[in-house]
Each structure stands twice: as structure tokens, then as C-alpha cells.
Amino acid sequence: MAKPVKDSSQDTSPPPAPVLRRSRDARVLIYSHDTFGLGHLRRSRAIANAIVTERPGTSVVIISGSPVIGNFEFGSGVDYIRIPGVTKLPDGDYRSLNLNVGLDEAVGLRQTLILQTARAFQPDIFIVDKEPTGFRGEILPALDYLQGTGCRLVLGIRDVMDEPALLVPEWERKGAKAALARYYDEIWVYGLKDVYQPLQALDIPPEVERRITYTGYLRRDVPPTPSLNKYPKITKQPFILVTTGGGGDGDDLIDWVISAYEADGRLEIPALIVFGPFIDRDMRRSFVERIARQPKLDVLSFDNKIEWLMKKAEAVVAMGGYNTFCEILSFDKRSLIVPRTRPRLEQYIRAVEAERLGLASMLSDYKEPRTPERMAEALRRLSSQPRPSEVVIPGLLDGLDRVQERLKALLESAPFKPAYHQAAE
């Protein structure tokens, strides 16, 4: 683990006195915890675009390690800084994605760039996605610095983190629970308390509990300009969209869907499978060969505006990651969630709760065998399944509205005054 640095420039002078900027020229810095997949980036992008749409004149910078961040469009007022990427290995460990350096050196470089960005940009609000201390503690120096400038620090977390038996020791090991109390003015949970409470098992002190706001899920809209992809002919009729998000861990779902069409010629509705940018190259080649032999299947490699396909689709089959679940709710789609159960149960927990509420159906190999017949029958049932809108849950998709409310409240409140400024008065 890289050692936290006090200051990458070795400048020991105090940070500038806090300044309360006018709302129209507010600055928001977002740290997107990107080591695998697209989830953190897509959530941060949705929040950033919503902020500049609601508050013209605001500037938002996203710090991300995603190698595909340049493939996405951002609203006017949003930009990003790409820090060196890291990637997760099959054994759960990490390594530098592109640089020929050790992991510690890569994290040290990321840490320095994050701190320098905070110093140069001087944000009013710093929104941290999911990891209170960042990847291997890399944002701790920036948190220390920004807290001293009067910047408001916000942790944003998805509706489900992991099963308590794994989440509690993981957060203790990372010092994440202590960081909640030390740094964060507010904690935004992008979900509903009545659906799931992701931090309940951590035994959070009452003063930290009071900082938590359940926002509701983050509504998604179709991008203003259409995708440049040429969609297959299959999309001109009712079809099922099969998506695995980034695709790096979606092999089992894709294989299961293909095997259902291979085994059951009675399946009537066709399916379009979207791989995602991180699918294994050899696995992709094998899938393409199998799909080519099935007249009711077609494929796209990747679509950075998958919302257009989501809106066109008759139904959706997905792994149930946070962003895809938000899109299923936003576009009111019948869905079958096939959650990943390794290395985390996050998707499984979300799928169980979604099925309990009647928002989606679930098919899992967690406790039952993965057979083509089970998938074929689940696909057949999709057409008669209720839509999410048939279930009335107050505030379900109010997430971006609540984020705007809290952002306004933070920007209009008096900034924190560091101790050395108080002593000088």
C-alpha cells in the first residue's frame, strides 16, 4: 500500500481561506472508484450531467481510472482527468493496468495526481464514490487538504454494498468506518431505506447516522443524440436486450442465454446480446460463433449509449448491477436479473429485494443448477411479467432530485473554518 503523502509539492503553507462561491460558478470534484467495469464511472457521469443541467455555470471534474472514459459524452461544464488505471486479477488482487510499474508505485502516482487536482481546482464540493478512503487509501491526502479549505465532503454509495459478513471486516481493514466520522459532512445512499440499508451492519455512531440521506435511485434518460452504432435488423421488431455492463464478468450470463436458444427452438422473441468493452477476447470469439448459428440471436460489441437500446427493447436480461437496475426502472422495462454471486453478493441481494417488491424477476445459479431449460422458461415468462411502474414505491426514482437539493443546501451553508484560521482571528 502506498504511504499517504502530506503534500506532493512539499508546500507546508496553509491552504487558502475558504471562499463561499456563488452557486452559478460552483465547482464540484467527483472521485470515481474505477478498477473494474463501468459501474462507478456511469453513476458519476449521471450525477455530473444532472448537476450541470440543473445549475448552468457549474464546473464538474471527474477523476477516474477507467480506460474507456473517453468513449462517453459529458454535458457542458463537465470534464474528466484520467489517472493511471489498475485492474483486478482473477485471484482478487490488483496490478497496474498499462504502466510497467508495481502496484504501490501506481497507487502513489494516482494519489499525487488526485491531490494536485484538488489543489488546482479548489472545489466547493468533493463527492467520493463508494470508497471512503479511495483505492488503497489514495484519496486520504486530498481529503485532509480539502477539509482544511472548507470544501464539503460527501460520500455517495449505491443501494447495496455487500453481505454484512464481508462488508464489516473489509471496512474495518480499510479504516472506512473511521473515515465516515472524520471526514464526511454527508453520506448519500443512492437507494431507499425501505428497500435496503447498506451500512446497517457497521454499527455507525448516531452522529454519523444523522448525516445519511437516502436519495432514491438515480433516474436515467435517453441521451440527446442517438448512438453511432448501426443496430442489427433484430431491433426493428420486439426483442430482448441482454446486457452485462462492462462485460468483464458476464460470461456466465451470455453463455446461459445462448444455451437456452440452442436448446429450445420454441423461443419466439429474439434477443440482442451486448458484450461490453471488457469481455475476454477468446470468450467473445466463441460466443460470436455460437450466436451466428442462431437466427433469433444477434450481437453488438459495445454501445456507449445503451439507453437507446434499453428504451427500444421489449424486455431486459441483465446481471443487475446498480446502473442497469436504474435504467430498468427508468425505462419501465420488464426484466430478468441474473446476478453475479462471486466475489460479492451485491447483485444477488439487489435482485432478491427487487423480486420481493415486484420490480423484476430473478434467475440464479446460486442454489440451483444452471440449465438451458431454466433460462428458456424464464425468458418465456418475461412477456407476461408486470412492469416496474405497476408497483407504487414513493420516491423510488427521486435520486437526482435529492442530490440537487443536498448540493444546494451544502453550497449555501457556511463553509467549514479550519483551526488555524480561527486562531488568527
Q: Which residue segments constitute the domains of the chain, with CATH numbers given? A: 24-219+398-414 (3.40.50.2000), 233-390 (3.40.50.2000)
* Contact of 296 with 271, CB cutoff 8 Å: yes
Using DSSP, state whether 159 is helix, strand or coil. coil
**Residue 247: pLDDT above 80?**
no
Q: Which of 246-250, 320-324, 374-378, 403-407 has the weakest average pLDDT?
A: 246-250
**Residue 340: pLDDT above 60?**
yes
Report pTM.
0.88
pLDDT band at 67 (very low <50, low <70, confident <90, very high): confident
Query: What's the pLDDT score for residue 405?
Result: 97
Average pLDDT, the chain: 89
Using DSSP, state whether 127 is helix, strand or coil. strand
Query: What's the pLDDT score for residue 414?
Result: 62
Higher per-residue pLDDT: 155 or 4: 155
pLDDT band at 6 (very low <50, low <70, confident <90, very high): very low
Vertex 215, ends 360 and 27: CA angle to 5°? 130
Distance of alpha carbon 324 from alpha carbon 214, whole angstroms: 19
Q: Which of 16-30, 219-233, 402-416 has the weakest average pLDDT?
A: 16-30
Residue 77: how many CA atoms within 13 Å on its side-chain side? 19
Mean pLDDT of 50-64: 95
Distance of alpha carbon 113 from alpha carbon 117, whole angstroms: 6
**Residue 133: pLDDT above 70?**
yes
Query: What's the pLDDT score for residue 91?
Result: 67
Peptide bond into 223 cis (omega under 30): no
Run of H or E including 349: helix 346-357
The sign of the torsion formed by the CA atoms of 146, 147, 149, 155 equals positive
* Contact of 132 with 211, CB cutoff 8 Å: no
Cell for 128? 467520493
pLDDT band at 25 (very low <50, low <70, confident <90, very high): confident
Instruction: Name, in order, each residue with C-beta under 8 angstroms of 95's C-beta and a sequence gap of 6 or more.
Output: 86, 87, 89, 103
Instruction: Name, in order, each residue with C-beta under 8 angstroms of 338's C-beta and a sequence gap of 6 or more.
Output: 252, 253, 256, 317, 318, 319, 320, 362, 363, 364
**Residue 23: pLDDT above 90?**
no
**Which tens digit of pLDDT belongs to each residue from 196-243?**
999 999 999 999 999 999 999 999 999 888 887 888 999 999 999 999
Cell for 280? 475476454
Query: What's the pLDDT score for residue 37?
Result: 62
Mean pLDDT of 39-56: 92
Instruction: Name, in order, each residue with C-beta under 8 angstroms of 194's C-beta and a sequence gap of 6 or more.
Output: 393
- Cell 503523502 belongs to 5
Query: What's the pLDDT score for residue 217?
Result: 98
